Amino acid sequence: MSIVFFKAKRRHEDLKVKILVPFLVITVFSLLVAACGNSSTPLDAGTRQRIDSTAAAQIRLAREELDSLCKLQQKTVLPRLVDSIKQKRVREIQEQLKTVPK
């Protein structure tokens, strides 16, 4: 009896999946199509001004943050990289000098 119940339950779950997956796909597709609709009314001047001022403020903040990060890296990372390159070059020169006949 339990095997019959299990098979019936499994068929019911398979049926739910077969119905649910296409339903979800169709729903998501419909929402995406509806969300991508073209607005026929252009933005008014006030809205464009708010968008412009908000974007300008965000760009200014991002520029300030990036400038400060760049200055910080110039003080910390750049000297270490230059020193590393210099050490590597000195080793290369020493290796080349070892191969030069005396």
pLDDT tens digit sequence for 15-44: 666 777 777 888 888 877 776 666 677 888
Q: How confident is the model at residue 51 (pLDDT cuts 50, 70, 90)?
A: very high
Tokens of 49: 């001004």
pLDDT at 12: 56
Residue 39: which region, alpha, beta or left (left: phi > 0; alpha: psi -120 to 50)?
Answer: beta
Note the pLDDT tens digit of each residue in 65-75: 999 989 998 89
Angle at CA of residue 32, ends 31 and 35, nearest 5° = 85
Q: What angle do CA 55, 58, 64 make, to 5 degrees?
A: 140
Q: What is the pTM of this model?
A: 0.43
The DSSP letter of residue 36 is: T
Predicted confidence band of residue 5 (pLDDT cuts 50, 70, 90): very low
For residue 52 the two structure tokens come to: 């412009």
